[in-house]
Structure 1
């Protein structure tokens, strides 16, 4: 983490001059209801953002420019180390454990849950979704099938009927405009020129999925440039499956694992898309009116050995977690600590922000900027603006919690405490150079006991008290990374 601290020193003068030159703007008040863009990447490891200075091969110039001009978060967290539960938290602003979507096969997102988009739409915003939704019922949603579609339990590879899926899709969850899809099939109600369409399915076998999703995001912005808008852009990368796209792969010649080349190429394609989005905002004269959040949905899946397997096999996606311990599927830093930045020209001064923040804070900040009021305790995210413009020097979160499979953890200040379902306990000083490589539980037993009690109370207050599963699927990871069984 020394390189990040060094980057903070480099940015200090920029922060000072930005605050002096934009004293009135740094109050965080926009001239109109601000646009909000939340960009989420898929299985994107912490190291793979150039602004952190932790990787010599990554190329993200457009994202780095946003980080240099905005807030680069060094401790940005998601609420789960897996796609569906993490995204459920993002779109609601709530810990997904509160409503029972603890892991992938607990999908879909309950229809009783109110999304950030629904709240923004009620506030008069145009709301758009592009990319990977992943919160509808799927072939693995056995708990939902037991309740709502028992026929699916009889099928080897069930395909959920369209009529049952539709209420759970973005078009039914608060989004006025949708370009909903991951690879080459999209459910859309506008075209890439920004024109209205009846809701239809489009098949595009030619365009690389990342480029397609960028084009759809640009079309949404074009459609709504003259009114406040909320855009959730969920890129399906660098997640596998791998697609070899020459124009992106050719940027990264040389000897390296081919899966690493895929991650570099797909993240570079995302970076191109972000650059095009910012350029469009400038052309339309609304860059100053638009706040951009960018973060991953969870850490990279290393599969321990980072095997450079053939492209047609699942496995490591080529992304890296750098100094963070562990990987996707673990609530260690490698699974839940992600690249994270916030940019708002002339409103958020340049800074490296080191206090822990959550993915949920993006939605909470959006609601606050839109003037949407919520009841105390209704959402778990925090409005970050008072913290990023210098008015509130306290950390946004006093305590952070995680529960996934047979794992649970609590972060309070510099301390991170683990309790696994099999009885294993660990305590780490996250401010130390050792971070998650040295268990200090024996040295600070009273701190561990206090945090354990607090974590247990939180677990028991979730929809399903205690642990969501027995410790087992994660056992090989914990043996490898922590030496515990």
Structure 2
């Protein structure tokens, strides 16, 4: 697109000539939107997958360190890509899944800490953004983000959040049982198809098989439509989490259309594995497995404890399911146009809920946390580093390893980029398509985790001594380049981070911040965690009221910079990957005439005159969004009522603070575009032009 740069004393001429500009722009290329399948497991560790860690144990053939197998996932990796430095947004399922779906990190998410069953907020998410771009959407498996109340009228029912179809467990606790009708260990559970409870017909249905069969059935039905639209399936397993129940029989041979698990749809025989004895079948690779329990080759090996035969069998069941689904895509001739992601929601767990007589579950047996320290509910790498495998034949090079740091918030913009649409401005993520496909420049991900849990890290002997039985409480993780900053049991914003070179030292053995080292990075970490989040009263933090540090700017000049972006989107678009139609400078943000179908972004610095709490107020004709630093201060986009006032507050220190204010326009009329503030000694008023600055 031809770029016009003009300098203007105000914004009156921003949109002059845009119509002619649009006529000169080449037509956007036609994008063939891929089908998308996101497979999410529950409490599967980085080290549980062969290609990430278990193959290494197998090659060493040390019988004191048992291994498990994942041949189908390893094959998927060989034909696609593995992401070796991928993070979940929280080390426990509900906030992790909420951040995945909403595309925002835990400093902006509505579901934080251990807020199980809390409503996924009414805002943009993976389902409704793809739905609005022409996708048919479904979630099958575990939800747990429905909000208060009883079914079927939960406020955040998947059908209320952009999904066209739902089949699975609605409530979080239901995911702790893998036979919903029989409920052998945790009692009978509810399974919902859309708004109808259907568990009564699910005799002997193992959820690992049930969700797979339902997913296959749904995909087949989509392809049978006369004019099949692209689809997005969020397949959220409850395995291997919690109860460690076994299947009732072997996984059926083959896969795809004619093999593997199949949907039969008959009450009492809903799927073809609904037979045999529940909680009984152990995979033959593990049924008679032995190990060197005392690390003494001279003594006889002993059988694996039953707990770990169960754990390995469950994970192998997930592996069979992946192979089954990938075969279905081939059988339907849609494999080359389907982007498939496989991963887990957080690190491995010590939970099992098995009765007396079973060994307690321990990730140490298979070293499920891989080469790291930490498990579920830890902000060490083992709690938040995820095994991610991506397949998209013809688009991702075979056998690719991607070491670019990334996190779950990146998948929403990635999927929208694959569909040819920019993401909503509220997302904290970036598209991973450049790293996946090798085309374009990969932007850096914003990797940030916050979490609170009143407990301690486990006392595993394989953990670093200083980490065993470590008090958790308030925790944070932030990654900048190759370095990770971690804080545990946070008391104040001044608490130091432990700093590790996570590439050279993945087990986090050497704290580079000890003895005052890495002073500049320490200061950067302390500032960045305040500059990139907003407090939530339901998840209070000890740094919620700390003043956000200002930034240093060399020779700033008065005024703001503006950019306009042509195109009509259902939301205010993130503009990082867009080319502006016009750019310029202004002395202030004026209320000027805007043309239809465009986005206007002001950016610059606000000079804050004194330390304190400042409240900002925005009014817009169609929508607006305000970021100060990287914090989402005002979201007047999704569901915004034109002309109403939205506000947000931050504790800011004296000095310059970068901001970006976005407006969207849908009709060619005079917009309401006011920006006001109040603060220490400042009554509510328009922000004066004298406090706006820009870089020279």
Query: Shift of the alpha carbon at 1:229?
Result: 0.4
Moved more, 340-349 or 355-364: 355-364
Deviations 1:54-80 (A, max 9, x none): 443222111111111111111111000
Q: Is the 8 A contact 2:130 2:232 kept in 1?
A: yes
> Mapping of 1:9-48 within 5 angstroms?
32-48=32-48
Q: Is the 8 A contact 1:41 1:296 kept in 2?
A: yes
Q: Is the 8 A contact 2:95 2:115 kept in 1?
A: no
Give the corresponding residue for 1:176: 164
Deviations 1:189-225 (A, max 9, x none): 5xxxxxxxx8442331302110111101101110112
Query: Shift of the alpha carbon at 1:163?
Result: 5.2
More RCO (CA 8 Å, sep 6+): 1
Query: Shift of the alpha carbon at 1:176?
Result: 1.0
Alignment coverage as a number of residue pairs: 407
Q: What secondary structure, in the 3-state scheme, does the structure 2 residue paired with 1:451 have?
A: helix
Of the three residues 466, 478, 483, the one matched with 1:415 is: 483
Deviations 1:224-275 (A, max 9, x none): 1233100000011110112133535233122223222222111111111111
Q: Is the 8 A contact 2:43 2:347 kept in 1?
A: yes
Task: Find out whether 1:134 has 2:172 as its counterpart.
Answer: no
Of the three residues 214, 234, 241, the one matched with 1:216 is: 214
Give the corresponding residue for 2:199: 202
Q: Is the 8 A contact 1:100 1:464 kept in 2?
A: no
Deviations 1:140-186 (A, max 9, x none): xxxx6xxxxxxxxxxxxxxx422552x32212221112112244242
| TM-score of the aligned structures, taking structure 2 as reference length | 0.55
Q: Is the 8 A contact 1:54 1:322 kept in 2?
A: no
Give the corresponding residue for 2:319: 271
In 1: Cα distance, 2:503 partner to 2:421 partner: 35
Gaps of 5+ in 2: 1-28, 59-66, 170-174, 181-189, 251-280, 290-302, 453-473, 544-696
Task: Find out whether 1:364 has 2:413 as its counterpart.
Answer: yes
Q: What secondary structure, in the 3-state scheme, does the structure 2 residue paired with 1:214 have?
A: helix
Task: Find out whether 1:186 has 2:254 as its counterpart.
Answer: no
| TM-score of the aligned structures, taking structure 1 as reference length | 0.77
Give the corresponding residue for 1:3: none
The structure with the largest helix share of the pair is: 1
Q: What secondary structure, in the 3-state scheme, does the structure 1 residue paired with 2:485 have?
A: strand
Give the corresponding residue for 2:498: 426
Task: Find out whether 1:440 has 2:497 as its counterpart.
Answer: no
Give the corresponding residue for 2:233: 231
In 2: Cα distance, 1:309 partner to 1:46 partner: 27
Deviations 1:92-149 (A, max 9, x none): 1112431331122264134422221111112221111100011123xxxxxx6xxxxx
Deviations 1:14-61 (A, max 9, x none): xxxxxxxxxxxxxxx997321000000000111111112344322211
Change (3 A) 1:396 1:349: farther
Q: What secondary structure, in the 3-state scheme, does the structure 2 residue paired with 1:127 have?
A: strand
Task: Find out whether 1:456 has 2:530 as its counterpart.
Answer: yes
Q: Is the 8 A contact 2:134 2:229 kept in 1?
A: no
Query: Shift of the alpha carbon at 1:336?
Result: 0.4
In 2: Cα distance, 1:322 partner to 1:344 partner: 26
Change (3 A) 1:228 1:163: closer
Change (3 A) 1:294 1:103: same
Query: Shift of the alpha carbon at 1:280?
Result: 0.8
RMSD: 2.8
Deviations 1:370-428 (A, max 9, x none): 2333343x11222111222222454542x411110100121000111123313453111
Change (3 A) 1:209 1:259: same
Give the corresponding residue for 1:284: 332
Gaps of 5+ in 1: 1-28, 138-143, 145-159, 190-197, 471-485
